[in-house]
Amino acid sequence: MGVLKIKEGSMVIYRRTGTIGRIIEFKNMDGKLWARLDTTDLLYDADFLEVIESKQLSAHNQQKVEHKIERKAEREEQIRDEETIDSSAGVCGAG
């Protein structure tokens, strides 16, 4: 696959954070090219953006969903552990 040219309207991924979005504008500041993404409304260094195709986006989204499911299961387990109160100490009354 050849390198795809980044342009306004391109779907891109910012490799440093995994942020995905569509480029809505470019800004040239201090000799550096920045691109604003629609998903965050933030500027990203264009040197670290990579154009992605829909099949790549689908694989990335699948990984994100799997990661969120794992994190949710971990949180639920943590909550269950915290709900278990150890009453074996036999504490009674004020100290």
What pTM did the predictor assign? 0.56
**Is 54 a domain residue?**
yes
What digits encode the pLDDT tens for the residues 13-67?
A: 898 988 888 999 999 999 999 999 998 999 999 999 999 876 766 676 667 756 7
User: What domain range is 49 assigned to?
Assistant: 11-81
**Is 6 a domain residue?**
no
- Residue 13: CB atoms within 10 Å: 20
How many domains in the chain?
A: 1
CB 23 within 8 A of CB 9: yes
**Is 37 a domain residue?**
yes
**Is 20 a domain residue?**
yes
Query: How high is the pLDDT of residue 52?
Result: 86
- What secondary structure letter does DSSP report for 47? G
Q: How far is CA 7 from CA 19, 35, 46, 69, 82, in A?
A: 17, 9, 10, 34, 50
Token pair in block for residue 8: 């306004």
